[in-house]
Amino acid sequence: MHSEQKIVLIGTGKLAEIIGFALYQAGFNLVQVYGRDQVKANKLANAFKAKAVGSVDEIRKDADLYLIAVSDDAISQIALALKGINGICVHTSGSVNMDVFDQTSDGFGVFYPLQTFSEGRNIQLNQIPILIEGNNSVTTDRLFQIAETISEKVVYCNSEERKTVHLSAVFVSNFVNAMLGMGEELISQTSLSFEILYPLIRETVDKAIVNGVKRSQTGPAVRGDIQTMKEHLRLLENRPDLAILYEHISAIIVKANN
Amino acid sequence: MHSEQKIVLIGTGKLAEIIGFALYQAGFNLVQVYGRDQVKANKLANAFKAKAVGSVDEIRKDADLYLIAVSDDAISQIALALKGINGICVHTSGSVNMDVFDQTSDGFGVFYPLQTFSEGRNIQLNQIPILIEGNNSVTTDRLFQIAETISEKVVYCNSEERKTVHLSAVFVSNFVNAMLGMGEELISQTSLSFEILYPLIRETVDKAIVNGVKRSQTGPAVRGDIQTMKEHLRLLENRPDLAILYEHISAIIVKANN
């Protein structure tokens, strides 16, 4: 049944690979993979029994779904190049408005997997939330049907709310990773290795998820332990940017817990 | 064998409970539990077949180990009150110097479990690093022997390095939890629930641990996606403190990845 649905995959990065693979496994007919990097396009096309194309002019017009998994700033060019296609056109970005496709096709929308994707991590999409938006109810329904073949957590989210969800994801993922990086840099000044912090990092997240974030806050800021905070700022004397950050986050912790 | 070793536990919080329980299970003889909160002290004393005491004067002088798990600012008072004991005196803090016990006893040190402890979380200590410091080699050796009965990851760490390790722990735990709190607050402005971010939060930490923090950084800052960052700052117009924080962390991400 799904095999009658023709999909053109646009992009060859990790997200294109993971979504393409999930749709291929769900039985969809991936007809083309477009990518400027011909080696990567060939590799994905071979994996999905699709045809690799290196020029937008070669992209066929009769597919049912055009799934655009490219960097945010490349989406509008692709939208322009695809003008006149018959199928539904979607991008996979957290921050780009749906109306980038206003002139592209009749049915369009967004297909945003709420996850962080990097080389070397093969994510199973089935437990990953996919945020769907369509420009009309027929398109939205169709996108739900497709998304539900690869994920158990498909939800509707309009463009404005999606931006706030994406911003929230920046805090809980990109900024969390940045905190881990600063911690790694600091402990590298000692004879202990970053690895020794792994049980702490894991428990921090497990506790926040099971007990709730607010109940889970520990540390000098929430205790109002001025002496330890002063000592920490002294240790950061040579890193004024981290010292300012330390004071700023501590103030937010105090405010959030009072 | 351990049962000949008499331990006095000072403090009745979560950390006192968890270390006390681990030592009790390892076969040590917990003779007294001191706490100002008599209900809590009784509860722990009953669990460990110890005697609860509510006054420092009642603490016996002949124990082999005095394990002080109280808040940082209460340690020095306890150190003073215990003056003249025979056994080894240790505290469990990341940031207090060992020499707080200079006048307390001949053998003293630090017994610092590198973990975040909260009510409602029963941590198994066996995989939790315990950072040990002693004022002489006999004491250090003795503390290693005791710590190794409850954890597989016992390491030496002097007071100055321990402060930097603790600062690093603030970043990877307290500040990570603060980021989760900000993310929770932001997503609560939408129709989606915080729960939808759980797979992202888990993958963020799993990826950082398996692939390394640096390789794992994603998001607008590391991509140099100015447009998305501007949009995020617009969304934070009503939260200037978070907007400033957003810019600051983004600048640190850019610097760390260039």
A163: pLDDT confidence band, cut at 50, 70 and 90?
very high
User: Contact, B219 vs A181, CB < 8 A?
Assistant: no
A49: left (phi over 0), alpha (psi -120 to 50) or beta: left
> Which residues in chain A touch residue B248, judged by CB atoms under 8 angstroms apart?
241, 244-245, 248
pLDDT value of residue A127: 94
User: Searching chain A, which residue's CA lies closest to the CA of residue B115?
Assistant: A200
* Euclidean distance between CA atoms B124 and A141, whole angstroms: 47
**Contact across the interface for A187 and B198, Cβ inside 8 Å:** no
Q: Residue A1 — pLDDT band, cuts 50, 70, 90?
A: low
Query: Do residue B205 and residue A176 have CB atoms under 8 angstroms apart?
Result: yes
Q: Which residues are A89's β-sheet partners?
A: A66, A108
- The pTM score is 0.95
Q: What is the pLDDT of residue A2?
A: 79
Amino acid at B221: A
Between the CA of residue B253 and those of A239, B107, B119, B182, B256, what are the distances in Å?
14, 45, 34, 18, 5
CA dihedral A92, A94, A100, A102 (to 10 degrees): 80
Q: How many CA atoms lie within 13 A of B32 on its CB side?
A: 20
Cβ contacts of B173 on chain A, cutoff 8 Å? 200-201, 203-204, 218-219
What pLDDT sits at residue B3? 77
What pLDDT score was predicted for residue B1? 61
pLDDT digit string, tens, across residues A175-233: 999 999 999 999 999 999 999 999 999 999 999 999 999 999 999 999 999 999 999 99
Chain A residues 36-75 within an 8 A CB cutoff of chain B: 71-73
If you ran DSSP here, which 8-state letter would residue A131 be given? E
CA distance A154 to A164: 18
Which tokens is A83 given? 């003008």
Q: Which residues of B touch A173 (CB under 8 A)?
A: 200-201, 203-204, 218-219
pLDDT at site A214: 95
Dump pLDDT digits (tens) for B163-190.
Answer: 999 999 999 999 999 999 999 999 999 9
Write down the mean pLDDT value for chain B: 96
Flag whether residue B138 sits within 8 Å of chain A, measured between CB atoms. no
Tokens of A155: 């939800």
Q: Which residue of A has its CA nearest to B117?
A: A218
In chain B, % of residues over pLDDT 70: 100
With an 8 Å Cβ cutoff, are A180 and B184 in contact?
no
Does the beta carbon of B254 lie under 8 angstroms from any beta carbon of chain A?
no
Q: How far is A1 from chain B (nearest CA, A)?
A: 30
% of chain A exceeding 70 in pLDDT? 100
Give yes or no for a contact between A234 and A248, defined as CB atoms under 8 angstroms apart: no
With beta carbons less than 8 A apart as the criterion, state whether A132 and A110 touch: yes
CA dist A172 and A183 (Å) reads 16
What is the DSSP annotation of B27-89? T-EEEEEE-SSHHHHHHHHHHTT-EEESSGGGS-S--SEEEE-S-GGGHHHHHHHTTT-SSEE
Is the separation of the CB atoms in B130 and B113 below 8 Å? Answer: yes
Average pLDDT over residues B23-42: 96
Over residues A109-155, the pLDDT tens digits come to 999 999 999 999 989 999 999 999 999 999 999 999 999 999 999 99
pLDDT digits over B106-160, tens only?
A: 999 999 999 999 999 989 999 999 999 999 999 999 999 999 999 999 999 999 9
Give the minimum alpha-carbon distance from A110 to chain B in angstroms, rounded to a whole number: 16
- The SS3 call for residue A109 is strand
> What would the mean pLDDT of A31-46 be, rounded to a whole number?
96
Q: What is the amino acid identity at position B156?
A: Y
d(CA A252, CA A249): 5
For B215, other C-beta atoms within 10 Å of its C-beta total: 13
Which helix (H) or strand (E) segment holds residue B179: the answer is helix B176-187
3-state secondary structure B92-155: CCCCCCHHHHCCCCCCEEEEEECCCCCCCCCCCHHHCCEEEEECCHHHHHHHHHHHCCCCCCEE
A155 touches chain B (CB under 8 A): yes
Helices (H), chain A: 14-25, 38-47, 75-81, 137-148, 159-169, 176-187, 198-211, 213-216, 220-223, 226-235, 240-256
SS3 of residue A50 by DSSP: coil
